[in-house]
Amino acid sequence: MDWLGRAKLSFVTAPRSLPIREKGGKTTSLLEICRATVPPCQLNPLLFNGHAHTMWTAAQKAAPPIHYKRRIFEADHREFNGSFAVDFIVPESEVTGTDDSLPPRTVYFAEDELAGMGSDDDRPMLVILHGLSGGSHEVYLRHAIAPLIESGKWEGCVVNSRGCAKSKITTGILYNARATWDVRQSGVQVVKWLREAYPNRPLFGLGFSLGACILTNYVGEEGSACQLKAAVVCANPWDLQVSNKELGRTFVGHEVYQRVLGTAMRRLSATHKEEIQKYTNVDYDQLTKLTYLYEFDRAYQCPTWGYPTEGAYYRDASSVDSLLAVRIPLLALNAVDDPIASYLALPFGEARQNPYTVLCTTSLGGHLGWFEIGGGRWHGKPVTNFFNHMAFEVDLDSIKPEANGKPELGTSSTRFDPMRRKMHVDFNQGEA
């Protein structure tokens, strides 16, 4: 048992971690940077296990205020067309008035502001992905990014999954754990657009829970061509099939977590009733009667994405294999007592194979809990420290994926491809 909330830390990576050169000329490694930037994990001793930390997230709503302006992106991929919203972090002084159609502290960009977006500055910028049915307003997200934004040295934007954070959908497509296309593929492509609008800004990725799964899949799919300089993923469920089975194995997992997650998706679908009825063959009346998350995935994700069962979707959308294809520095944070992102799904073996990744586990923390005494959230500290070190202390040009990647396993005729998905998405041929 951990003594008075002091969680144990563990770091897992390849025997020879990725070598990295700092701006002063010192040679270090990704593991050494992670050890230096991840502080001791001292949590609230009254929250004595993962269930307590996870359930306390529903009661603890206080978080630093982050202000946004929203830009709507239009995707022009034949299969994944439609719109989604990206919320850009702005100073409080720029958000005047309120808009009840948007989350708190969020307004739309004015037309002249949209036309004038772009800059030649070299400030580092975060691209952030939220968890299931969440958005830029989430408490766990604001706790993590507030220290970076308040320092005045960082910019950031949150890619809201389709239909989330009071965004409208213009087709029957919501999102799923394989939905990397809104990060990569949209009418102007978020990452590509950021590269063009802010050519001198180094981009970094941050994902939470399902957003961590999507971000890991995206980074793995991009491989050595990834435009992000580094990434952090928090509470990634990794193997969705394993995590789903573990939730169904216990009363609390099934009747609390599966029910809460299913209710969130049912409510989300209710806000898009008209579009679902217009653009899909999904039985909307059936959606209103569902209770558990796997029921929603079976009734909605399977028919809209072409999966025969929810299990096939979970296996195909999992990011555990994607970790093997990552070719940028990636820090993964998980609590081993997380009741949603199961310990049994954690990619210890995969992390040991890839020098570009470090899996850091804490013995306490639950699912995106990590509550400290006084209401703070521990995960914001390693996120802040790691990104600040990578952005301001590291010679980012010294990280060359082509030179430092591990050789492929197998022979020329027998080779394991971690990114070979069962649902094929052709991004090159799919543009309208």
* Residue pLDDT, tens place only, 210-244: 999 999 999 998 899 999 999 999 999 999 999 99
Report the range of poorest mean pLDDT among 68-82, 154-168, 217-231, 322-336.
68-82
- Residue 11 structure tokens: 């770091």
pLDDT for 382 beyond 60: yes
**Integer Cα distance of 233 and 78 in angstroms:** 30
145 or 3: which leads in pLDDT: 145
SS3 349: helix
**Integer Cα distance of 27 and 97 in angstroms:** 50
Name the region of 356 (left: φ>0; alpha: ψ -120 to 50; beta: rest).
alpha
In the chain, CATH 3.40.50.1820 sits at: 3-239+318-399
**Integer Cα distance of 348 and 364 in angstroms:** 17
**Integer Cα distance of 359 and 178 in angstroms:** 21
DSSP string, 148-164: HHHTTS-EEEEEPPTT-
Mean pLDDT of 312-341: 96
Q: Which residues contact 71 (CB under 8 A, 6 or more apart)?
A: 85, 86, 88, 108, 109, 114, 117
Q: Which residue matches tokens 């995590």?
A: 243
Q: Which of 127-141, 270-284, 398-412 has the highest mean pLDDT?
A: 127-141
Relative to beta strand 203-208, strand 228-234 is parallel
Predicted confidence band of residue 144 (pLDDT cuts 50, 70, 90): very high
- Residue 213 structure tokens: 């799964």
Report the range of poorest mean pLDDT among 159-168, 197-206, 405-414.
405-414
pLDDT for 188 beyond 50: no
pLDDT digits (tens, 9 = 90+) for 388-404: 999 999 999 999 876 45
The pLDDT score that the predictor gives to residue 273 is 86
pLDDT digits (tens, 9 = 90+) for 11-53: 999 999 999 999 999 999 999 999 999 999 999 999 999 999 9
Predicted confidence band of residue 372 (pLDDT cuts 50, 70, 90): very high
The pLDDT score that the predictor gives to residue 179 is 62
Q: What share of the chain is helix, strand, coil (3-state, %, to 5)?
A: 35, 20, 45
End-to-end CA distance of the chain: 57
The pLDDT score that the predictor gives to residue 181 is 52
The pLDDT score that the predictor gives to residue 244 is 95
192 or 337: which leads in pLDDT: 337
415 or 251: which leads in pLDDT: 251
Mean pLDDT of 47-76: 90
Report the range of poorest mean pLDDT among 109-118, 296-305, 350-359.
296-305
**Integer Cα distance of 394 and 184 in angstroms:** 26
The pLDDT score that the predictor gives to residue 407 is 46
Closest C-alpha among 155, 159, 135, 134 to residue 145: 155
Catalytic residue among 51, 87, 338, 342: 338
Predicted confidence band of residue 432 (pLDDT cuts 50, 70, 90): very low
Report the C-alpha dihedral over residues 329, 334, 340, 346, rounded to 10 degrees: 70
The pLDDT score that the predictor gives to residue 400 is 82
The pLDDT score that the predictor gives to residue 187 is 33
Catalytic residue among 209, 269, 319, 342: 209
Maximum C-alpha span of the chain: 63
Contact 368, 209 (CB under 8 A): yes
> Does residue 254 carry a catalytic annotation?
no
Mean pLDDT of 194-218: 95
> Does residue 209 carry a catalytic annotation?
yes
267 or 202: which leads in pLDDT: 202
Predicted confidence band of residue 176 (pLDDT cuts 50, 70, 90): low
Tell me the percentage of the chain whose pLDDT exceeds 90.
68
The residues facing 84 across adjacent strands are 73
The pLDDT score that the predictor gives to residue 277 is 86
pLDDT for 184 beyond 80: no
Mean pLDDT of 324-334: 97
CATH superfamily, region 3-239+318-399: Alpha/Beta hydrolase fold, catalytic domain (3.40.50.1820)
pLDDT for 110 beyond 70: yes
Closest C-alpha among 73, 67, 117 to residue 97: 67
Report the range of poorest mean pLDDT among 245-249, 353-357, 418-422.
418-422
Q: What is the mean pLDDT of the chain?
A: 89
Tell me the percentage of the chain whose pLDDT exceeds 70.
88
The pLDDT score that the predictor gives to residue 189 is 62
SS3 394: strand
> Does residue 338 carry a catalytic annotation?
yes
